[in-house]
Amino acid sequence: MDYKLSYSNTASLADRIRQGAASGTVTKAGGGLAAREKRREAAASEPDFNEIRAQYFNSVRNMFSSMEDTPAPAKKEELSLGLPKATVVGGSEGLSFGGQDFLSSLIQSESSGNAQAFRTNKDGETYAGLVQMGEARLTDYNKATGSDVTQADLLQNATVQNEVINWHINDLRKLATKLSETSGMDINGLIAVGHLGGRGGMTQFANSGGKYNPRDEEKTHLADYYSRFKSK
C-alpha cells in the first residue's frame, strides 16, 4: 500500500488501512492495525448474547401463547352402571341392569354401587370395582380375551370395567345354566355362588345339592349367596 498518497478524507484512509490489515497486506500500521483488525473480527464472530436472550424470551412467549389456544383435555370418563342390557345378559332375563334385578343387587351388596371401591383382605388379596373383582378372576378374563387388564384399569376406566363385568357374569351364566339343567337349582342363585366361590365352587355346590358350603373371610357361606340372589 502506498502511504504517501494524499487523502483529503482521513476516514477513507483509515478504511483502506483496515482493508489492508484484513487482507494481510498491512502488518504495521497505526500501532498494529492488523492485530486490532483480527481482534475486531474475533469480537464480531462471538455470539450476541443480547440477541440470544431476546430469542429465548420470544420462544417462551410464543410457547405460552400457543398453550392458550390449546383446547382443554377431555374430562376423564366417569364410572357408572351404564352397561347395556343386551351385552350384559346375552338376551337372558333376570340378569340385566335396572331396578332391583340380580346384577344391580349383586353390585349393591359388593360395593354399594361405588365403581371405585377397593379393599384388601387379611390375606393381602385385593378386590376392585363394582363387583369387587379379584386378581384371580381378572387373570381368567385376561387369559380368555388375550387382554392385560389390571385392577387399576378397572378403577380408572369405566368402559374397561363394564367389559370385564360383562364377561364375568356371562361366563358364570353359561356354567350356571348347564348346572341348573342337571341339578334343578336356580340360575341366578348359582351365578351368585360362582361369584363368591368361583366356577369350581359353583360346580361343587350344584353337584352336591348345596351340601358343599364353605364360607369366605366375611363368614358368608355359598348357600347364603344362593338364597339371597336366587330368583323370587
Q: What's residue 38's pLDDT?
A: 63
What is the C-alpha separation between 37 and 228, in angstroms, rounded? 99
Local structure of 215: helix, strand or coil: strand
Strand, helix or coil for residue 156: helix
Distance CA(38)–CA(20), nearest Å, equals 12
CATH 1.10.10 fits 86-229, yes or no: no
Task: Tell me the whole-structure pTM to 2 decimals.
Answer: 0.59
Query: 3-state class of 10 per DSSP?
Result: helix
The answer for residues whose C-beta is within 8 angstroms of residue 114's C-beta and 6 or more apart is: 130
Q: Is the pLDDT of residue 84 over 80?
A: no
What are the pLDDT digits (tens) for 19-52?
666 665 554 444 455 566 666 666 666 656 566 6
> How many other β-carbons are positioned within 10 Å of the β-carbon of residue 214?
13
Smallest CA-to-CA distance from 38 within 59, 58, 23 is with 23
Assess whether pLDDT exceeds 80 at residue 14. Answer: no
In eight-state DSSP terms, residue 8 is S
- Find, among 87, 80, 194, 222, the residue nearest to 136 by Cα: 194
Q: What are 113-162's pLDDT values in tens digits? A: 999 999 999 889 999 999 999 999 999 999 999 999 999 999 999 999 99
* Domain range annotation of the chain: 10-69, 86-229
Element of type H or E holding 16: helix 10-23
Cell numbers given for 147: 387382554
Instruction: Please answer whether residues 190 and 202 qualify as being in contact, where contact means their C-beta atoms are separated by less than 8 angstroms.
Output: yes
**Cβ neighbours of residue 207 closer than 8 Å, sequence gap 6 or more:** 179, 182, 183
